[in-house]
Structure 1
Amino acid sequence: MSAHYSNPKVSYFSVPKCACTSLKAFFFRLENDRNFRKCRVNGRLFTVQDVYPTRPFAEVAADTAEGAWKFAVVRDPVARVLSFYRTNIVHRGLLNRPQLARKLTANGLSTSPNASEFVQQLERYQEVSVPIQWHTQPLSFFLGNDAAWFDLLVSPSELGTLHSELSSRFENVPEIPHRNSKGPKISREDLGAAEIAKLETMYSQDFEIFGDYIGR
């Protein structure tokens, strides 16, 4: 889980590229009545991701308090991969960082792939880059294999529903901010049928487990 409260008992399980930065910023404001700001401690930069770290389901499920209201945001796996590509590859230039760029070049991978090329070579990019591997792990890696274990699962388009549920449990609930939306707009329509089929096969278990919630 990324955020846990004992009174009321609420546990949030985060997934990269599923509004997790927005919700972590939301929970920081809820707890501290102010917006989060990056800070340095002993030379190390701390972000909201460090304050509320995302962890694999296998590491956190057993730590969940009995009777806690458990929720997560889930997303179409194709949209998740494209969101990562848009924000991290195009906008932030992840692949152009010198050390990673050298590794990519040595492995015959482009440092400036278009969306189709990135999907076509996704497994190879995952092998070379830990951030790529982490952000494109299946939903089940972070949420387990039983959707019914959660009390609420919503898609990013249903954050209003989530806000209403949280407002019934907490006082003075702030609005959920919208973070990490930078980069060119890219959707399924920008991929070919072969790339879409590949991603749907790669994440077939996610579609099977969370298909009723991801809003394909």
Structure 2
Amino acid sequence: MVIAVDAHRIAYMALPKAGCSTVKAALAQIDPSVTLPPEDERDVMTWHGLYPTVRFRPHRWAQYGGYWRFCVVRDPLRRLLSVYTNRVVERRDLHNCRNILRGRVDLPKDPDPDFFFCNLKAYVAASSVIKHHVLPAWLFLGPDLGAYDRVLKTTELASLGEELSARSGRPVEILRENRSSLQLSFDDLGPEAQRAIRDHLAEEYRYLRDFYANPLAEPAAVPCTGPLRRVS
């Protein structure tokens, strides 16, 4: 299903770990079709309960041709690293993984970042939660980002509040939801984990090439075209 606010003809496709909790919370402020629980009973799962994140389906998306259609993207490396800091460390999702708990796979529930990224394929196969959050962006946003009226980076979410407010005639406050308190950088990882991440994200950076340069790409060799000369 497409996340739509029919009253204001707004349609949104969510990408996991790309500000989707924040965007959903903003949409709920202007959506008359939803009933919010009391403020002290809300948490990040409130927004996902209201607006589930689903994969892109062309026939569903085509039904919203007259809507203002948008999505939010995030730097692929930052998005992937946040899966570890938020889903593995903070939310401890692997402690609820049935395949691990029942001994079907031999994987630690609290891996260090190097082990996690070196064994990312195994964790994706074992845990549906991890898989959901590391699937490539095009599965959620579709093959053609040109089909959107606006593609925002996560660093531009403040301007989304202004856009939603203008379209709804109501004030919209952008509050950062589900922000990880932990920090992990590419340089914190060992060579094998870095290589695994580089390989995993190569296609993702190609898909988002109009928005993010690939900082992990190996520099191309520069051919020597001048005459050779002996150095004494």
Q: Cα gap change, 1:81/1:75 in structure 2, threshold over 3 Å: closer, same or farther?
A: same
Counterpart residue type for residue 198 of structure 2: E
Aligned partner of 1:126 among 121, 124, 127: 124
- For the 8 Å contact 1:78–1:196, the answer to whether it is kept is no
| 8 A Cα contact 2:164 2:172, kept in partner | no
Q: Offset at 1:63?
A: 4.5
How far apart are 1:188 and its partner, in Å? 2.2
The equivalent residue for 1:16 is 16
Bigger shift: 1-10 or 160-169?
1-10
Change (3 A) 1:193 1:149: farther
Instruction: Report what 1:65 is aligned to.
Output: 64
Name the counterpart of 1:158. Answer: 156
TM-score (norm 2): 0.78
Q: What code does the residue aligned with 2:91 have?
A: R
| Counterpart contact for 1:71–1:151, Cα < 8 Å | yes
> For the residues of structure 2 that align with 1:47 and 1:131, how far apart are their CA atoms?
17
CA RMSD of aligned residues (A): 2.6
* 2:226 counterpart residue number: none
Question: Equivalent residue for 1:43?
Answer: none
Shift of 1:181: 1.3
Aligned 8 A contact 1:21 1:48 in 2: yes
Q: Which moved more, 1:132-141 or 1:165-174?
A: 165-174
Structure 2: give runs of 5+ residues left out of the alignment: 39-44, 215-232
Q: How many Å apart are 1:179 and its aligned residue? A: 0.9
Maintained 8 Å contact 2:100/2:106: no
User: Identity across aligned pairs (percent)?
Assistant: 27
The answer as to whether partners of 2:12 and 2:70 remain within 8 angstroms in 1 is: yes
Residues 150-184 of structure 1: CA deviation (Å, up to 9, x unaligned) = 11111111112222222321211321111111342
Residue 51 of structure 1 pairs with residue 34 of structure 2? no
Structure showing greater radius of gyration is 2
Q: 1:148 aligns with which of 135, 146, 149?
A: 146
Q: Across the two proteins, how many residue pairs are aligned to each other?
A: 208
**In structure 2, distance between residues paired with 1:188 and 1:22:** 25
The separation in 1 between residues aligned to 2:15 and 2:58, in whole angstroms, is 14
Give the TM-score normalised by structure 1. 0.83
Q: Distance in 1 between matches of 2:109 and 2:118?
A: 14
Instruction: Check if 1:88 corresponds to 2:118.
Output: no
Aligned to 2:201: 203
Structure 1 residue runs of 5 or longer lacking an equivalent are 39-45
Partner of 2:30: 30
SS at match of 1:177: coil
Task: Note the C-alpha offset of 1:26.
Answer: 1.4
- Kindly indicate whether the alpha-carbon contact (under 8 Å) linking 2:5 and 2:27 is maintained by their aligned counterparts in 1: no
The one-letter code sitting in structure 2 at the alignment partner of 1:84 is V
Question: For residues 47 and 138 of structure 1, what CA distance do their matches in structure 2 show?
Answer: 25
The code of the aligned residue for 2:119 comes to Q
Structure 1 CA distance for aligned equivalents of residues 14 and 78 of structure 2: 16
Q: What are the superposed Cα offsets for residues 24-49 of structure 1, whole Å, 9 maximum, x if unpaired?
A: 111112225999449xxxxxxx7321
- Give, in whole Å, the separation in 2 of the partners of 1:215 and 1:159: 20
1:143 to 1:128, Cα distance in 2 relative to 1, 3 A: same
Letter in 1 for 2:101: R
